[in-house]
Amino acid sequence: MSENKVIVANKGMVRADFDFWVGRYMDKFYDNFEKKKLIGNKCQKCGDVFVPPRKICGKCNIVIPLEENWVDLPDTGILKNYTITPYRVNDRSSRKTKPQVLGMVQIDGSNTAIIYRLLNIKPEEVKTGMKVKIEWSEKPKGDPSDIKGFVKM
Which residues here bind Zn ion, judged by CB under 5 A? 43, 45-46, 57, 59-60
The full length of the chain comes to: 153
Closer residue to Zn ion (CB): 57 or 105: 57
Cβ of residue 38: shortest distance to Zn ion, in angstroms?
A: 20
Cβ of residue 22: shortest distance to Zn ion, in angstroms?
A: 22
| Rounded Cα gap, residues 36 and 38, in angstroms | 7
DSSP string, 39-70: EEEE-TTT--EESS--SEETTTTEEPPTTS-E
| Rounded Cα gap, residues 31 and 146, in angstroms | 10
Closer residue to Zn ion (CB): 59 or 96: 59
Cβ of residue 56: shortest distance to Zn ion, in angstroms?
A: 9
Closer residue to Zn ion (CB): 60 or 113: 60
